[in-house]
Amino acid sequence: MAMQSSSKTSLAQRWEDYKPSKSALVWACAATAVATMIVGFTWGGWVTGGTSRMAATAAGDVARGDLASVVCAERFKAAPDSAARLVELNAITDTYKRRQFVEAGGWATMPGQTSPDRRGAEGCAVALAT
């Protein structure tokens, strides 16, 4: 009977008696680190530095274009002949030609720049045409 009771140890007792080797601990730590990275990059929203720089650059370009389109629209509306120019702009149906019209008028050239902002001109033409 004593033999039978010693072979039936509880899970807690077996856990307490377990002494892993150093190599088992190293491999367990490595597997945990790899699993953490897989979960982080797959579902956790982690990105590499290159991806984050590209996203930040794209967001900056979009924001700069949005700001330029607002400035352009305000400059267009402040012009003395804005009502006549707006009629001309609305008569143009091609979006490319609308952007060219805004660029040629000088409204999309931001202060301190020598050439018009393409995204700003596109956004300006869309904002003014609506």
42-101 tens-digit pLDDT = 999 999 999 999 999 999 999 999 999 999 999 999 999 999 999 999 999 999 999 999
Q: Which of 54, 59, 71, 81 is nearest to 124 (CA)?
A: 71
> Which among 59, 113, 114, 88 has a CA at the least distance from the CA of 102?
88
Tokens representing residue 39 in the block? 């979960």
Q: Is residue 5 part of a domain?
A: no
Same domain, 28 and 71: no
Flag whether 56 is in a domain. no
**Do 75 and 111 share a domain, yes or no?**
yes
Name the residue range of residue 69's domain.
61-129
Are 67 and 122 in a shared domain?
yes
| This prediction's pTM | 0.65
Residues 104 and 73 placed together within one structural domain of the fold: yes
25 is a domain residue: yes
On whether both 70 and 118 belong to a single domain, the answer is yes
Structural domain contains residue 111: yes
Considering the domain architecture, whether residues 121 and 67 belong to the same structural domain is answered as yes
Asked if the structure places residue 85 within a domain, the reply is yes
Note whether residue 26 is domain-resident. yes
